[in-house]
A and B are shown apart, each in its own frame.
Chain A
Amino acid sequence: DGGITQSPKYLFRKEGQNVTLSCEQNLNHDAMYWYRQDPGQGLRLIYYSQIVNDFQKGDIAEGYSVSREKKESFPLTVTSAQKNPTAFYLCASSKTGFYGYTFGSGTRLTVV
């Protein structure tokens, strides 16, 4: 079955360390997105990519970096510059022009 795989489901890191969250899709979707979810807030867009080797900043990109070397993969790195990295991170993909979204199951990152 096609879908989005995010790994790991839970991640613990020490303050000051960079950490990379994985997102892989086998839906042949062109666009991929990273969202952050905090308690009591709607999901907020971190980065998005509509085509391989190209990506754009979302609303809260500071302290994060991404790459899109393959259509299937859109990893997110949470750097030590992100002041409050503890959150739930969701990856999504869509077929541009169709608007149909598929979401991953998320990664809960805790920085101690």
Chain B
Amino acid sequence: KNEVEQSPQNLTAQEGEFITINCSYSVGISALHWLQQHPGGGIVSLFMLSSGKKKHGRLIATINIQEKHSSLHITASHPRDSAVYICAVGPDKLIFGTGTRLQVFP
């Protein structure tokens, strides 16, 4: 069993839908990261969480340390949100999930 599990692996949505991507982990962590990888391959860091909830624009990330679970929500999804979303946990050396591929259609 992987130390970081993401679900679903693939997700398709219509523009405007509310999206939720889940991440569960089995190791002790000091921080959890949500990353976005576009088809070109470069990765952008969306959030780093150690507790509670963070919001940036249409993106919301939450973490429950006791349950070892985090969710990434996208409100009012748009085709430009289409990407692979990756959860990673650490302190310094990150352990990565395999990613959730999101496609948003107009």
Contacts and interface: CB of A to CB of B under 8 A. Distances in A.
Interface of A: 31, 33, 35, 37, 40-45, 48, 50, 58, 88, 90, 92, 94, 96, 99-106, 108
B96 A42 contact: yes
A37 B88 CA distance: 14
A43 B42 contact: no
A100 B35 CA distance: 12
Contacts of B19: none
Contact of B41 (A33, A44, A88, A100): A88
B43 A90 contact: yes
A100 B45 CA distance: 9
Contacts, number: 60
Contact of A58 (B43, B48, B93): B93
17 contacts: A40-B98, A42-B4, A42-B95, A42-B96, A58-B93, A96-B92, A99-B30, A99-B48, A100-B48, A101-B45, A101-B48, A102-B45, A103-B44, A104-B42, A105-B40, A106-B41, A106-B43
Contact of B45 (A33, A35, A103, A106): A103
A94 B91 CA distance: 11
Contacts of A35: 96
B94 A41 contact: no
B44 to A, nearest CB: 7
A43 to B, nearest CB: 4
Contacts of B93: 33, 45, 48, 58
A102 B46 CA distance: 10
Nearest to B98: A42
Interface in B35-78: 35, 40-45, 48
